[in-house]
Amino acid sequence: MQSKLNPYISFQGDTKEAMEFYKTVFGGKLELSTFGEAGMTDHGVKPDGIMHAMLVADNGITLMAADTATGMREYVAGTNMSISLSGDNEEELTGYYAKLAEDGKVEEPLTKAPWGDTFGMVIDKFGVFWMVNITAPQA
């Protein structure tokens, strides 16, 4: 799978509503995962809050989003964007993560995530928030 670069929007409790709206705009398939489904109920989040949402339109437009967890970046409406790098090329994506972390701030080291992939977050030296997800090999 080729690595992908996608916008990732943070919301404050209304991710599901927002993404359902974007689905009416772009069409496609919407997938929603809650913090509770991932067993992440002790991280300053509501169990029914959206941990990850992904809308993939028929033309390939992809939009991702999540509810902001307590203790994460300050939520400021309109500036709540991140960039998501994802794919299955571990060497490539780990290299991107390492370079982005140089002179930046590691928010979450690359580690195995509750959904089985390897995931990490970093703010680069210019203040841009990045999320890297390396898809776990399929059995």
Tens digit of each residue's pLDDT (9 = 90 or more) over 101-113: 989 999 999 999 9
Mean pLDDT, rounded, for 90-116: 92
Give the span between the Cα atoms of 56 and 72, in whole angstroms. 26
- 50 pLDDT tier (thresholds 50, 70, 90): very high
Mean pLDDT, rounded, for 69-86: 70
pLDDT at residue number 70: 61
Note whether 130 and 107 are within 8 A (CB): no
Q: Which of 6-20, 63-77, 118-132 is the least confident region?
A: 63-77
Handedness of CA 116, 72, 43, 108 (dihedral sign): positive
Give the span between the Cα atoms of 66 and 40, in whole angstroms. 13
Q: 109 — phi, psi (to 5°)?
A: -65, 160
How far from chain centre, in Å, is Cα 36?
Answer: 16
Q: Considering the chain, what percentage of its residues have pLDDT values greater than 70?
A: 90
Asked whether residue 60 carries a pLDDT value surpassing 90, the answer given is no
Mean pLDDT of the chain: 86
Tokens 């992809």 identify what position?
Answer: 62
